[in-house]
Amino acid sequence: MEGRLTHPLIEIMDSTLRDGEQTSGVSFLPHEKLMIARMLIEDINVDRIEVASARVSQTDKEAVKLVCRYAERIGMLNKVEVLGFVDGNLSLDWIDSCGCKNINLLAKGSLRHCKLQLYKTPDEHVEDILRSLDYADKLGIGVNIYLEDWSSGMQDSPEYIYHLMERLSNTNIKRFMLPDTLGITNPLQVIEFFRKMRKRFPDVHFDFHAHNDYDLAVSNSLAAVLCGAKGIHVTVNGLGERCGNAPLASVQVILKDQFRARTNIKEDKLNDVSRLVEEYSGIAIAPNQPIVGDNVFTQVAGVHADGDNKDNLYCNPLVPERFGRSREYALGKNSGKANIALNLQKLGLELTPEQMAKVTQRITELGERKEIVTQDDLPYIVNDVLKHTTPEEKVKLISYMVTSTYGLKPIASIKVEIGGKQYASESTGDGQYDAFVKALRKIYKKYLDRTFPILANYAVTIPPGGRTDALVQTVITWRNGDKMIRTRGLDADQTEAAIKATLRMLNIFEEQSSPSSP
Which residue among 18, 325, 488, 504 is the active-site one? 18
Q: Are strands 11-14 and 48-53 parallel, antiparallel or unpaired?
A: parallel
Q: CA 130 to CA 113: how far, in whole Å?
A: 18
Instruction: Answer for the pair 468, 373: CB distance below 8 angstroms, yes or no.
Output: yes
Q: CA-CA distance, 176 to 355, in Å (whole number)? A: 66
Q: Where are the alpha helices (DSSP H) in 328-469?
A: 336-347, 353-369, 378-387, 432-446
Nearest to 388 by CA among 491, 318, 316, 293: 491
40: DSSP letter? I
Mark whether 148 is an active-site residue.
yes
Alpha-carbon distance of 180 to 189, in angstroms, equals 11
Q: What is the DSSP letter of 22?
A: G
- Is there a catalytic annotation at residue 368? no
**For the chain, counts of helices (H) and of strands (E):** 18, 16
Distance from chain centroid for Cα 148: 31
Burial class (CB in 10 A: 0-12, 13-18, 19+), 321: exposed
- Of the residues 11, 148, 328, 496, only one is catalytic, namely 148
Q: Which residues are catalytic?
A: 18, 148
